[in-house]
Amino acid sequence: MDNIRSVKGTKDLLPHDTIHWREVENIIHQFMAVHGYGEIRTPVFEDTKLFHRGIGKDTDIVSKEMYSWTDQGGDNLTLRPELTAPVVRAYIQHQMGTLRPLNRLYYIDSLFRRERPQKGRQREFHQFGIEAIGSPHPEQDAEVITMAYKIYETFGIKGLSVKINSIGSAEIREPYLATLRDALNSVKSALCNTCQNRIDKNALRLFDCKNPACQEILDKNAPFIFDHITDNDRSHFGRVTAILDEMGIPYDHDRKLVRGLDYYTHTTFEITSSTLGAQDALCGGGRYDKLVEELGGKSTPAVGFAAGMERLFIAFGDDGEHEHSLADIYFLTLGEKATQKGFVLAEEIREKHGVSVVSETLQRSMKAQMREANRLGVQFVVILGDNELEKGIAVVKNMDSSEQEEIPLDKLSDHFMVDGQE
């Protein structure tokens, strides 16, 4: 029979990986806690309508990449392809806006998009991100961008680059789009099919096209939305950049950086790392003042970012095997009685000191157990055979120094007192 393998574009995380993931997740949890952000976890699947309304029907994600199905009861469901819409849905559903004027939320979760898998691009992947819901002011944009930058700095990621732009407030959108369409209509036939369709449907998204020929045409012909924003929009942007300057966050103003959906307003930003290669985006974010309303809530301004976890690991240069110890102490026991006693002593050490202790359950030879201890990367091996049991001692081997000492069994658990313990 054929072996069943994991689905294309998905990855298993094995114990050596999960240790590393947990360390990174813990740093993210801590980082969020010191910034006053609370964790939110939403279901893996949602009503498909949420993403039609919350991402936009003519985006690639919704039109081509969602895992959607109709269940046995006839409900149309979708595995979440992003987390902002689910977080906003939960915010509205639980009336979080009535509890406090500003909700600072973050998540670390998996999501699903049927994209073409390649390095840094999977079909199931993970993001951490924040959504600050409630403040229309530039200070909030600056807080979000600063946090995105600082977390990569905390992780020591090299080659960071922050691009930011403003697409202004909602009322300038239609007149600007009319100008953009006028400017592009004469060169329309030279654009790719997707761009040609977008001119009428959603012209702002032309700037997202990856086709170099389209980019060249845009560079030559397209007016930038930034040049059409109002004075108020400009002062919002100016205040965001002034705070970033004050905070020492380096950034470039990229007039082509847009978020092409109606509910995005004002600030857009992206952080890349030159260490990443072709898929160089670490995170993207911006202000989405119209989304809460679009999803049925009371009009509420919001700003956030979403950051790829897998990209972060690639940026660490840490894509492969990790050298991590999986236990602190290995109980090498020989014979039934010694193994039984070893179980009791191992539990005593765990309970007293909270260190990780692994017992033998495969009845292996001494040599095979030593090999296992090395594989696990333990610091100490406790050797207990029938001879030792008779003498009331165990041999403790320090795996770093290779020194061995005999310890009376009734003193064994105290021998492993961790520094700082009484």
Instruction: Note the residues at the interface with ligand AMP (CB under 6 A).
Output: 82, 113, 115, 120-122, 125, 127, 281-284, 306-308, 310-311
| Phi, psi dihedral angles at 316 (to 5 degrees) | -65, -15
Q: What tokens were used for 344?
A: 């009791």
**Of 135 and 268, which CB lies nearer to ligand AMP in the complex structure?**
268
Nearer to ligand AMP, 35 or 121 (CB): 121
Cβ atoms within 10 Å, residue 182? 10
Q: Which is nearer to ligand AMP, 45 or 269 (CB)?
A: 269
Cβ pair 258, 227 in contact under 8 A:
no
Give min distance, CB of 401 to ligand AMP, in A: 43
Q: Which is nearer to ligand AMP, 109 or 310 (CB)?
A: 310
Secondary structure of the chain: what % helix, strand, coil (to 5)? 45, 20, 35
Q: How far is the CB of 83 from ligand AMP (least distance, A)?
A: 8
For residues 237 and 267, the answer to whether their CB atoms sit within 8 Å is yes
- Minimal distance, residue 117 CB to ligand AMP, in Å: 8
Q: Which is nearer to ligand AMP, 120 or 342 (CB)?
A: 120
CB-based contact 394:409 (threshold 8 Å): yes
Report the C-alpha gap between 151 and 203 in whole angstroms.
Answer: 33
Closest-CB residue for ligand AMP? 308
* Whether the Cβ atoms of residue 310 and residue 117 lie closer than 8 Å to each other: no
Single-letter amino acid, residue 121? R
Angle at 202 (CA atoms; ends 236, 173), nearest 5 degrees = 30
Least Å from the CB of residue 302 to ligand AMP: 15
Pick between residue 214 and residue 307 the one whose CB is nearest to ligand AMP: 307
Tokens standing for 370?
């030593």
Least Cβ distance, residue 127 to ligand AMP (angstroms)? 5
Query: What minimum distance in Å lies between the beta carbon of 19 and ligand AMP?
Result: 21
Q: CB-based burial of residue 67 (10 Å sphere; 0-12 exposed, 13-18 middle, 19+ buried)?
A: middle
